[in-house]
Every structure is written in C-alpha cells, then in structure tokens.
Structure 1
Amino acid sequence: MRLPTKEFYFMKKLRVNTAGIDIGSKKIFLAVEGEPVRSFETFTEDFRHARDYLLSKGIETVAMEATGVYWVILYEMLEESGLDVWLVDGRQTKQVPGRKTDVKDCQWIQQLHSYGLLNRCFVPDEQVKEIRAYQRMREDHIRTAAMHVNHMQKALTEMNIRIKEVISQIHGASGIAIIKAILEGERNPEKLLSLCHKSIIEKKAHLVLKALEGHYTEAGLFALGQAYQAYLFYQQQISACDKKIQEAMEQANNYHQDKGIRDDIESAQGRKPVRHNKPQVDHLGGHLLKIFTGKDATNLPGITDYTWLQLYAETGSNLLKWCTEKHFTSWLGLSPGQHESGKKKNTRNKKYRPKAGQIFRQIAQSLIESKKIALGAFGRKLKAKRGAGIAVKATARKLAVLYWRLMVKGLDYTEKGIKDYEQKVNLQKERWLSKAAKEMGYQLVANQYVE
C-alpha cells in the first residue's frame, strides 16, 4: 500500500470507522483502515456478504464512486443497514497520478473520506427516483420517435412526395393520416388531400396536391412502412410512461385515499399551454402544486408544467439540499468557470452538465427568442456582446436562481416586461456616466432640443 503524502500527517481526521469502495462491473473492492483490501463479486448474495463484512468491522460511514448504474443496488442495501453512505463523483478521487488499480482506488477513497475531502453527490428519494426513471425513459422514447420521423420524411422524399415542404409536421394529424392512407394503397392526391385539416385545405390545397404527386417505389413504400410502424410503437411506449407517471403522482399525493386532496389537485386551472410532447397526465399541474406545497414554478418565465415535471424528476422537491443559490447553480454547471493558474486560463476543463442544468439551458434558449420577457432581453444583450453560449448559460443561471428562491424562500416573481428591464439598464448607464463625469471634473447636462 502506498503511504499517504506528508500533508496527511498534519491534517486531522474528521471521520473514524470509514470504508472506501471501488465498484466495477464484475467485482467491488472494499478498503477498511488497518485491514487488507477485500473483494466481492457483484451478485446480490455477494453484496450481502460485503454489507455484513462492513458491519462486522464496526464501519459507520462508507464512500463509493458513482460508476454508471453499478452503485445503485449496493447503495440502497448499505443505506438500509444503517450505514452513512456517501456517493461521490469519481473525478474527486483521481487527482493523484500513478494510483490506478482497483485496490489502490478503494484505499485512496477511504483516506480522502476519513479526512473529509469528498463531497456527497445528490441522490433523490425513492419517490423522485421512480418518477425520474419514467421521465428519462419517456425522453429516450421521444428522441427515438423523432429519429423515425426523419426516416419517414426520407422515404417520402425518395419517392418525391414533398409533404414536408407544405405541411410543417409530417407527424401531425394531417401528415400521419396521409401516410397511413398511402400505406393502405391510396394514391389519388384529391382523396389524400381530403384527409388534411380544413385550414390546410383552405390555404394550401393546390400546393398539397402538387406535393402528393410522387413516384412510388416498392423499396420506398417498405421503408415508409417500417418507419411508420416504429414511430407508432414509440408513441405507445410514451403513453405507457405517462400512465406510470400518473400512478406515481397519485400515489405520492394519496390521490385516491383523500377526497380533499383530490379536490385540491383537480381545482388547479388556467395552466400554461404545453406546445410539444405534452404528457398525458391528468391534473399534472395540480399534482405538482400539491408536492411543492402550493409553490408554482410556472409563474417563472419559460417554465410549463412539463418542464416543471422534468426539473422535479432531476432535483426533487426539497431544494434545501443545496444550502445557497450559488451551490445550486454550481451543481447545475451554470456558474462561471474558475480555471486559472497564474495568468493562464484552462479552457479545456469542461464542467459536467447534469440533466437539470440542460433543462434550464433549453428554457433559456427559448426565452432569448422571446420579444416580451425581460430575461429574453437580458440574454439578447449578452449574446450581442459575448456570444450565444455565454448568453444561454447566464440566462439559465438567472432562471435557476429564481427557481431556487421560489422553492426555498417562497419569493414570488412578477414579469414586468422588456420596457421595465430597459429602463433599469438605462438607469445603470446614467449612474455610471454620472460617476465617470464626476471623477473627471465634468457635469452631465440633459440634452435639450431647441426648436
């Protein structure tokens, strides 16, 4: 075993009876201070033996790396046995060169943990973990379904059926109806046009008729049918995920047991519309309001019930786990980078982006396109100066701060619009000019127009 560096001899241990675990796909390695490293296989029976070994040695707290999904079951088994389990980011334990074996890794984790040099990762409770699993599966199905939409579009284009050029979404009601009829053998453009929505027939009938006059091929129809069936399959998978989210929400809120709770949830009206990929969950807004004790995240710009559900699945309902808004935005990967050494900046060190941070970034991108919201004006102003990447990150950080303040401190947000934001910016400019003029011995005079 490699001895610890000299600095450890001058540092005080913060924890006693500690253990470190290095987890792999086939084996786990356990390091207990003063004992030889033990290894166990990753079968459930071996996990129980590892748990019993730690308890027999009087271990009170354990640190383990967050390696893929290998840690999940072991973490739960150790936590249920009463141990204080710390899930840590693997990057925290790989700062010393030359220590790259499983045995040395678990010993190093144990040493760092005993001296209090590791930070605990966020692990959601069982309720949030279940909803997170369904929501992430749902997102995967949406991405895969989008891929098959592209396949349908490609198959149509290869037969020179130009639906995409005249209908905004070929997977909308009109597009799917046309594709289904084509696969069933219909080739008459007039009959295919009649399947479209009346607004399309009124405004684009002649274009749709031209677009539907294609050159059908056996291979093209086969590819179209494959993509269509795959798209329908993933729509069914998305619906199944929605049902599981519905059940989890109802169970979390005792929806079927308490009539008063059910009335409160169903009374939530006037929710923001969800434009894309809306989950088929009854009273989603009411369920979220009940979980968050009446604090409504949709009062914040850009957040709908769907994006709120996504954030809940990633961060849970108790944001006090991040003691300040700066801790929260840092965990999200939205804080400004601090990678300086001397006069040089390390721009290659890319910060990890959790899914919650990506959600805030996606909302920020849509806000920057908005012409009525103050945060959008802030983002556009920064985009003109520093570029799109920094603007999106800064806007996402502002939104994340508002979200944390709402959920932790209950601070309300009122959208005052772009004019109010521009007035504040002009006031700041005026103060800066006044200060600069005063320092240089000048005096600002308001511009007066003489007719």
Structure 2
Amino acid sequence: MEDVLRSCCAGLDIHQKVIVACIIRSAEGKKRPEKFFGSFDTTTRGLFDLSDWLTSYEVTHISMESTGVYWKCVWRILQNHFELQLANPRHIKNIPGKKTDMKDAEWIARLTRLGVVPTSFVPPEPIQELRDLTRYRKHLVEDLNREKNRGHMVIQNAGIKLTSVIKDIYGKSGRALLYALVKNRPITETLILECVYTTLRRKVPQLLESLEKQLVEVEETINDYLVPYEEYVERLEEIPGINRRTAAVVLAEVGIDMSVFLSSGHLASWAGASPGNNQSAGKTRSKRVGKGNSYLKKVLAQGALAVSQGKPTRIQAFFFRVRRNAGHKKSVVATVHLLLRIIYRMFSDQSRYDELGESYLKNRKNTLIYNC
C-alpha cells in the first residue's frame, strides 16, 4: 500500500511549445486514484488556461522538471496559486521503456503524491533578477575576453608582433597603434603591406569598447539591486577571498534565507563542492564532486585562489594544509566547501565573520590532543 501524502496533485512535463499535465486525485470509496491528462500551449494564454484547469480539480501541489529555461514562465504564473516543486530531471528519471510525454507527467505526479520529489532551490523573485544580472555579467566578461583573444590571433597571424612589445595591446597605447594600423597610417612601408583589411580587424577596437560599455552598465544595475542587501554584502566582504563582485554572485545564487537548505553540507553539495559517496562491497569507488551550481562554485574557487595569495588567515592555513596532503585542485574545492559553510553559518545565525588566525587549526589540534 502506498503512503499517500497528497490527495490531489499534478505533474508537468514542460517543453518549448507544449506542456503535458497529469492530475492524480484520490477517489472516495475507490482504491485506485483518478487520473486526468491535459495539454496546453506555453503562451501566456495557455499558461492561464493551465492554471484554471488545475484549479478546477482543486490541485494543491505541483511538480515540474527544471528543463532549460522553459519552467520559469510556468513557475511565475502558478507560484501564487499552488505549492510548487522544481526537480532535477536526473533525480526523477522515469523507468526505461516508458518514455512518452504523458507517462513522464504521470510519473512526476505519482512521485509528488508520495512526497518523494527531491526539491531544487528556487530563490524569491528579487534574488532571481539579481541572479540573471550576475550571470549576464559573467557572460559579458567571457565575451570580452573571447574578442580580445580573437584580436590577438588575427594580429599574430598577420605577423604584427605588438604583443611582444606591449603588455596590453588593449590599453591606451596599444589601442592607439591598433587604430593607426586599421586606418593605414604610414608607420612603415612593411607594416602597411602586412595590414589585414578584413571586417574583423576594423571592428575589434569598436567591439571591445561596446562590450566594456555594456559591462559598466550591467555593473551599475547590479549595484542598484544590491542596495536592499548592503548589510549582507558588507558581512560577506569580511570573509577573506570575497569581494563585492563575489558577494553579489553569492547573494544571487543562494539568497539570504538558509532555511531552504537542510544544513551547510547540503548547501555545499548543491553548489558541487562536496565529495561524492560511491561505495560498493565495502570499497569506496569514487569521491568525485558533482556538477552543482557552476556560477557559485567558479566564483568561490577564484576566491579560494585569492586567499592562497593574500595575507595569512585561518582559511589560508586550511588551504595550504589540504594542498600538502591532497594537491592543489582538491585544496581549492575544499576551501570552497569551507567558505560555503562559513556563509551558511553567518546567514543562519545573523552573525559576522570572526577571523580566528592562521594558527587556529594548529592550536585546535593541540587542544584536542591535550584533552585526550
């Protein structure tokens, strides 16, 4: 006999153009529950029709897969009327051989009815907007670096060795020389003959300038969004390795409410900074960390590297201790794990960071030995 937790719930199988829904409702006097299926467009009108259809059956709980970005519009329309759950597709995968849209929706609804859907973290809307901005900033930085690298490649292929003389060819002096080359100014006869007249070369400086201007605008918008969270930003900046930009990403990815995570270990696992647990027949097969939240893990990894090169702190001592025993890569992941535990505790207790000093780990070990 199944342990039913919800008497009327639904599962949604979301695609780009269509949503297939399945409602499972307990039928009075019957052993088997009733099932209802529906298909709806992903347009705004279709989403409101879906909401009305679910309301007509008195649905209370709804689960859906985090399929790309398609779930976001559905979530926004339904969030004020139902108890929603977002699940990782890997965690609610259907039984092989039963792969249809209706079967998938029914499977999600059955898991929801039993209360066994592992819920993914969905931050409140202000944090979601901040998250979109910080992720957009990351992509702009990557685009800027990509265009710079393309410019380097074109110049090297043309035999122009500016990079051998100028450290940053996109600095003030470097750009002046690039403009001179683009405009065919007679610097030397050889240089003019070797110039490339492609559209790419003529657009590199303008493209970089445009991207940098766009980046500045996004930075200003992010700062506006951070105004209500200035207290949290200041507290995060007290942690070694975390600056304002890193703090913005942390807030955008995890928010300020730590009650959505069961523990600091759960937060670290969600971020992809916890070792895996793959054991069989008493043997540990792998401890490889999961994928997790790449935006959060990458920015904290940069913070961990900054800690290793900064002034002596407790976190730096931890980094070097792990590196001596396990190597550089594992020390970075372990330090990210430590930073997440510190952030979890600070936000949960509404406390501030307390620097315990580089000798903290050593003193703690000696104290434990003495007490034993």
Contact between 2:277 and 2:286, CA under 8 Å: does it hold in 1? no
Whether 1:100 aligns to 2:77 is no
1:136 partner amino acid: R
Tell me which of 215, 221, 239 is aligned to 1:238.
215
Larger Rg: 1
Match of residue 401, structure 1, among 333, 338, 341: 341
Letter in 2 for 1:406: M
* Structure with greater strand share of residues: 2
**Whole-Å separation in 2 of the counterparts to 1:343 and 1:220:** 66
8 Å contact from structure 1 (residues 156, 220) kept in 2: no
Which amino acid letter does the alignment assign opposite residue 330 of structure 1?
A: S
Question: Residues of 1 paired with 2:79 and 2:285: CA distance?
Answer: 39
> 1:156: how far off?
2.5
SS in 2 for 1:22: strand
SS in 2 for 1:35: strand
What does residue range 263-342 of structure 1 map to in structure 2 within 5 Å? 288-290=229-231, 292=232, 296-342=235-281
Higher relative contact order, structure no. (Cα contacts within 8 Å, ≥ 6 residues apart): 2
Deviations 1:326-374 (A, max 9, x none): 2211211212211212234454976232022232222123323446333
The 1:426–1:221 alpha-carbon spacing in structure 2 relative to 1, beyond 3 Å, is farther
Q: Letter of the 1:380 partner, please give it.
A: F
Counterpart in the other structure of 2:117: 118
**DSSP-derived class of the 1:219 partner:** coil
2:79 is paired with a residue of what secondary structure? helix
* Aligned amino acid, residue 344 of structure 2: W
Structure 1 residue 295 displacement after superposition: 5.4
| Cα distance change on mapping 1:95 and 1:371 into 2, 3 Å | farther
Q: Is the 8 A contact 2:61 2:83 kept in 1?
A: yes
SS at match of 1:31: strand
- The alpha carbon displacement at 1:403 in A equals 1.4
Counterpart in the other structure of 1:172: 171
1:388 is matched with which residue?
328
Aligned residues, how many? 361
* Shift in Å, 1:249: 4.1
| Distance (Å, rounded) in 2 between the aligned partners of 1:176 and 1:344 | 59
Distance in 2, Cα, partners of 1:386 & 1:334: 15
Matched, 1:343 2:282: yes
Aligned residue number for residue 19 of structure 2:
28
Q: Which amino acid aligns with 2:147?
A: H
Could you tell me the percent identity over the aligned residues?
A: 25
Q: Are residues 1:158 and 2:157 paired?
A: yes
Shift of 1:40: 1.7
- Is the Cα contact below 8 Å between 1:371 and 1:377 reproduced in 2? no
Q: Tell me, yes or no, if the aligned pair for 2:8 and 2:59 is still in contact at 8 Å.
A: yes
Q: Residue deviations 1:153-178, cap 9 Å, x none?
A: 12222344333334433333343343
> For residue 48 of structure 1, what is the amino acid of its counterpart?
F
CA positional deviation for 1:227:
2.3
* Partner Cα distance (1:12, 1:360) in 2: 41
1:132, distance to aligned residue in structure 2 (A): 1.6
Q: What letter corresponds to residue 129 of structure 2 in structure 1?
A: E
Change in Cα spacing, 1:403 to 1:174, as seen in structure 2 (3 Å) is farther
Q: Which residue does the alignment assign to 1:367?
A: 307
**Counterparts in 2 of 1:184 and 1:214: CA distance versus 1, 3 Å:** closer
Shift in alpha-carbon separation, 1:36–1:323, aligned structure 2, 3 A: closer
Deviations along 1:227-282, one digit per CA (max 9) or x if unpaired, are: 222222212221332343344445xx4xxxxxxxxxxxxxxxxxxxxxxxxxxxxx
Cα displacement (A) at 1:431: 3.2
SS state of the match for residue 36, structure 1? Answer: strand
Which residue does the alignment assign to 1:265?
A: none
RMSD of aligned residue pairs (Cα, Å) = 2.8
Instruction: Compute the displacement of 1:12 (Å).
Output: 1.5
Q: Which runs of 5+ in 1 are unaligned?
A: 1-8, 190-212, 254-287, 436-451
- 1:357 match: secondary structure: helix
Deviation sequence 1:291-324 (CA, Å, 0-9, x none):
x3x8511110100011101111111222232242
CA distance in 1, matches of 2:118, 2:199: 54
Is the CA contact (8 Å cut-off) linking 1:302 and 1:363 kept in structure 2?
yes
| Equivalent in 197, 201, 213 of residue 224 of structure 1 | 201
Kept after mapping to 2: 8 A contact 1:383/1:390: yes
Determine helix, strand or coil for the equivalent of 2:196. helix
Paired with 2:256 and 2:356, the residues of 1 have a C-alpha distance of 27
Shift of 1:186: 4.3
Q: 2 CA distance for matches of 1:216 and 1:116?
A: 72
How far the C-alpha of 1:116 sits from its partner, in A, is 1.1
TM-score by structure 1 length? 0.72
Give the whole-Å Cα distance in 1 for the aligned partners of 2:275 and 2:288. 12
Shift of 1:134: 1.9
Q: Which amino acid aligns with 2:114?
A: Y
Letter in 1 for 2:369: R
| 1:296 maps to amino acid | R
Deviation at 1:85, TM superposition (A): 1.1
Partner of 2:139: 140
Counterpart check, 1:88 vs 2:87? yes
After TM superposition, the structure 1 stretch with the greater mean CA deviation from structure 2, 228-237 or 17-26, is 228-237
Q: Partner residue of 1:279?
A: none
Aligned letter for 2:230?
L
